[in-house]
Amino acid sequence: MNTVIRILCLVVVSFNTIFAQGPNVDFSKKPPNLDSLFPKIAAEKNDSARYYLTMTALTISETNPVEDMHNSEKILLYGQKNNDLICQGLGYSCLSYDYIAFGDQVKSLKYGILANQVAEKANDNRLKTFGKGMLALSYLTMGDFEKAVSYNKAAMEAGTKYTPDIIYVCVVNDMGTIYLAMNKVDSALIYTQQAYELAIKTGINYWLTSTYLQFGSIHQALNNPALALNYWNLALNEAKRINSPKFESIAYNAISKFYFTNNQIDSAKLYASKAIASVRNTAFNTLNVEPAKLLLNIYRDINIDSAFKYSEIYRAANDSLYNIKALQQAQLMSVEEESRQEQLALEEEQANETRKMNLEYTFIAIGIISFFMLFILFSRKHITNTKIIQFLSVVSLLIVFEFLNLLIHPILEKVTHHSPFLMLLSLVALAALLIPMHHKLEHWAVNKLIEKNKATRLAAAKKTIDELEKNG
């Protein structure tokens, strides 16, 4: 018995270990190639496992929102093509987040709404957490704090119904961000503390740098300068731990502004310089704008050479920021056009599949009615009313007309260029050809039926006479 219990315990531990790996998606890792990922997604039948497997390709918004948008569009189309609500929900949610990075509030809200609709349809709490969290951020950027709070609380509620993951930790941290933007510092502190405790408890520590930076801003607002500085230093250490030049620069910049505000100019210069150095020769050199401007203001009146040096850095960072935004917008247009073409191809494929199925159903209907009519016409055992044949002939005419319409519809669209008048004219011409043929066939069938009925009556009368003669 003890052996059996030990084996069961090992199985449970192994099972929990397998599924515990899911929520711990590491956003700092390079996403896998989608061509190699899609077969794995298709093979995975468990929704939870498929959610986290797909999530591995959607973890680069903080570093490259254009690439993340490209991946999101492809995953969304994959989900639509394969009726995979998990992929659809993740695609919509990530697109909502990426459009925030591009400053497009309308599209961000649009995709957030679609993400929520898919989440409700799938009845999946992970999708609900992500979708409602994105709606909260969309409303935050629009300054609608009431809706931001409402949706983020709904996201947190959905997140309590499964094992905490990186998105749930994020929405808890975002609750602090929202309240801090509302200047409700006490509430911001409560939720930021919850995010911190959750990160420590679960080991999902990707957002710790953001949490520490938020703590620093909160304690600065509470006039606790020592605590604020302490948290910014913790944020700096965490940024170094995860090897993030982006977060290092943000932390250095926060510390430099703190020292500048407190008139500790030497320390301000030191940390502003480190903020610039931390992102030198990286994709994040646009973060140099604030620290370079601070150093320019410091040196403007005391050292012309240094002032010129930092003015050049400031100008280059500003130019780079403008160029990157312009490049991202161009890339964004390219991604959107590619997505539009893929969407059109998907819609055409679905329309062809539907048309093929309709043709099959119509052909089956024609076969059944034709068989029934032939059975009535050539059966020698029953006398049939001609009205039945007339009714069936009308039904068959309508079905044949619909069959031919389905068959030639794509050709008509190309020839007429989707002109309603020309398509109507073509269908009228088709009907003009079918109706005379229908009348001829109906006339033949009715005559055939009358002849058959006469033959049936004669045969019945002859049989009756023969029986009477035998009995007489």
pTM > 0.85: no
Q: What whole-number distance in Å separates Cα of residue 122 and Cα of residue 90? A: 12
Look at the block and give the residue holding tokens 């009726």: 83
Among the listed residues 189, 194, 169, the one whose alpha carbon sits nearest the alpha carbon of residue 178: 189
The Cα–Cα gap between 58 and 133 comes to 16
Distance separating alpha carbons of residues 252 and 236, to the nearest angstrom: 7
CB 250 within 8 A of CB 213: yes
CA dihedral sign, ordered 14, 16, 22, 24:
negative
Residues belonging to the chain: 472
For residue 211, give the nearest of 229, 225, 195, 198 by alpha carbon: 195
CB atoms within 10 A of CB 341: 10
Backbone angles phi, psi at 55, to 5 degrees: -60, -30
What is the distance between the alpha carbons of residues 165 and 163, in angstroms, rounded to a whole number? 6
Residue 305, pLDDT score: 55
Give the separation between CA 151 and CA 134, rounded to whole angstroms. Answer: 9
**CA nearest 380: which of 453, 448, 450?**
453
Q: How would you write 225-281 as a 3-class SS string?
A: HHHHHHHHHHHHHHHHHCCCHHHHHHHHHHHHHHHHHCCCHHHHHHHHHHHHHHCCC
| Block residue for tokens 């790996």 | 21
For residue 93, count other CB atoms closer than 10 A to its CB. Answer: 29
Residue type, 3: T
Backbone angles phi, psi at 182, to 5 degrees: -85, 0
- How wide is the angle at C-alpha 318 spanned by C-alphas 312 and 321, nearest 5°? 140
What's the confidence (pLDDT) of residue 206? 85
Architecture of domain 164-243: Alpha Horseshoe (1.25)
Q: Which two tokens stand for residue 345?
A: 């191809």
Do 77 and 343 meet the contact criterion of CB atoms below 8 Å apart? yes
Fold type of domain 35-162: 1.25.40
Q: In tens digits, what is the pLDDT along the chain, a chain of 472 residues?
A: 444 334 334 333 333 333 333 556 666 667 778 888 999 999 998 988 999 989 888 866 565 666 778 888 889 988 988 999 999 999 999 888 888 766 778 888 889 999 999 999 999 999 999 999 999 999 998 899 999 999 999 999 999 999 999 999 999 999 999 999 999 999 999 999 999 999 999 988 888 999 999 999 999 999 999 999 999 999 999 888 887 888 888 899 899 889 988 889 888 888 988 888 887 776 566 677 778 777 777 776 666 555 545 555 555 555 544 444 554 454 455 555 555 666 666 666 666 676 676 666 566 666 655 655 554 555 555 555 556 656 656 666 566 666 666 666 667 666 666 677 776 777 677 667 767 765 666 666 666 666 666 666 666 667 777 676 676 5
Residue 425 confidence (pLDDT): 74
Return the number of other C-beta atoms located less than 10 Å from residue 54's C-beta.
27
95-100 CB contacts, 8 Å cutoff, 24+ apart: 95/69, 96/131, 96/134, 96/135, 96/137, 96/138, 97/61, 97/134, 97/137, 98/61, 98/65, 98/68, 98/69, 98/72, 100/137, 100/138, 100/141
CA-to-CA distance for 247 and 240, rounded, in angstroms? 8
* Contact indicator for 193, 180 with CB cutoff of 8 Å: no
Tokens describing residue 376: 């009535």
